[in-house]
Chains A and B, each alone.
Chain A
Amino acid sequence: MGTTPPEALLICEHCDTVYRRQPLAHGDVARCACCYAVLERHHGLSVNVMLALVLTAMIVFVQANMWPIVTLGLNGQLSGATLWGTIIVMWQQQAQVVAVLAAGTLFFFPLLKMSLLGWLLWFGRLGRRAPGFVPMMVTLHYLQPWTMSEVFVLGALVAIVKAHLYFDVMADPGIYAYAVLTLLITVFAGVDLRQLWELTPEDRA
């Protein structure tokens, strides 16, 4: 390997092939020549923009959780549901496993993810490493696959269509908040959080 320092290298996580890092231009995607996995992706979001998006997501998240999602009507009787209402009902109906899964993947994990990201980006904006940077980055890595708000939105859609057969269905503000949240999640899906390691200098840990 000789002269190239390890920091200038990149290893494909899917097949272990080693590359020299190349600077990426706007919109570039570096792909592994061996297994075609994405190695690195350039995205145009600055730290400020990412922070703004995270703050927006947090506001929308609060709305999505406080406002009812859907209301059903039957002979003049109304019945609405919020996310937490749903979780509590599942717990009471002997489906505690489902209640815990929903509370984790739809509330606690997304909340934790946004809070950690907001905290890290707030300091990243100032060119510094936030207190607790390392454990937070590790937590974010493990949290990544376990947030499912976008699946819940599709689930709400299916539930609405099913309920529509027997009841009057009214979409409530919560469902729109969830739709916006899904859009924000999609924007963030292309962002590799690992860049935060390089963005901030090591010595201020």
Chain B
Amino acid sequence: MSAFPRAAELGLIGCHVCGLVISADMPDPDDAADELACPRCGSALHRRKPYSYMRTWALLIAAFLLYIPANVLPIMRTASLNDIDDNTIISGVVELWVKGSPDLAIIVFTASIVVPMLKFLSLGTLLLSSQRGSGWARPQRAKLYRLVEFIGYWSMLDVFVVALLTALVRFGLLSLVEPLPGVIFFGLTVVLTMLASMSFDPRLIWDGRDSDD
């Protein structure tokens, strides 16, 4: 038995939207709780985010599928008088590194490659371990989730870079930048991973605590 009192055991529900604590005694927390609305903000009350595992898995897998074309397809075309150069995410990082801005190359590499991969691995780990009710490294997993939530939207960096360069480099035949389909896939990947981390309920990490430790 854990030392900390948990809301579900005390018959309490916290509103996801406004944080109000409501006492709601329900014999079966899983289905009856869905009918309740928060008296303060009117949002639906849940003990856990509804269908958290299903939604998070679905969004995460969809995000991963889109992440493949986002990396394989070029995200940007640079055209000048005598050559056309298609850039993928990775070749953009390499270009920054080679042409003398290794610090920015690291930032872009982190935002575009490390952060999305970290999200796939972290959320996958969190989903699998929570679904098994594992008691392994709970505080660390809770921290990992907060990290994923915090860094998630910085991946949009490369999308904004391509957009700005497209708008800026408009010198007709001399020099022109165009967005290529990879950037669309990448933008969608970022949105889907954000939605995935939002639909995961970190409370699931701590559920089943009494049964196996």
Contacts and interface: CB of A to CB of B under 8 A. Distances in A.
Contacts of A146: 153
Summarize B's interface: helix, strand, loop or mixed. helix
A85 interface: yes
Contacts, number: 210
Q: Which of B95, B99, B167 has the most CB atoms of chain A within a 10 A radius of its CB?
A: B167
Given A36-B139, A98-B187, A151-B153, A11 B21 contact: yes
Given A35-B206, A98-B184, A167-B169, A6 B22 contact: yes
Given A138-B17, A163-B165, A11 B139 contact: no
Interface residues on A, range: 35 or more
Given A36-B142, A101-B191, A141-B18, A159 B202 contact: no
Interface of B: 2, 4-8, 10-12, 14, 16-23, 40-43, 92, 95-96, 99, 101, 104, 107-108, 111, 138-139, 142-143, 145-146, 152-154, 156-171, 174-175, 178-179, 183-184, 187-188, 191, 194, 198, 202-203, 205-206
23 contacts: A1-B11, A6-B12, A9-B21, A11-B12, A14-B202, A16-B7, A35-B142, A35-B143, A35-B205, A36-B139, A79-B168, A86-B163, A97-B184, A98-B183, A137-B17, A148-B156, A151-B156, A151-B157, A155-B159, A158-B107, A158-B161, A162-B161, A163-B165
